[in-house]
Amino acid sequence: MSNPLYYHEIELRVRYAETDQMGIVYYGNYAQYFEVGRVEWLRNFGISYKSMEEEGLMLPVISLSVKYKKPAHYDDLIKVKTQLVKLPSASIEFNYEITNESGEILTHGNTELVFMDVNRKRPTKCPKYLLDKLRN
């Protein structure tokens, strides 16, 4: 995607609690790193998950895939790169890449989330305010 608004990156330090006895990041924690990437991607637009939930909109994950290339270790500084795949409709899809301080790719991932109307408990369209920001 050429639009820089579709892309965001954030650095995180691997905490001890995120690792196993060998000091390697436990595989399930990568989904949490992806979530941090998504939340900060939205925040970059001035939108928060909290404000969306207060408006009656939730974003449950309906698909998650992860490809592990190399492990991250305790105290590593990692970069989570989050990229929107395409303009959202009733769902929104992101690709992720996690790299270490040397720029080595550790993990690739993808998530798809659906916009959910909390009151109706049904999928709904992407809110206009988000689409408007993405189209500018």
Instruction: Kindly list the catalytic residues.
Output: 20
57-58 and 116-117 strand pairing: antiparallel
Q: Name the DSSP class of 18.
A: G
Of the candidates 89, 94, 90, 91, the residue with the CA atom closest to the CA atom of residue 44: 94
Task: Tell me which H or E stretch contains 106.
Answer: strand 105-114
Measured CA angle at 133 (ends 128, 136), to 5 deg: 120
Distance from C-alpha of 94 to C-alpha of 64, rounded to nearest angstrom: 10
Quick one: tokens of 117?
């109307």
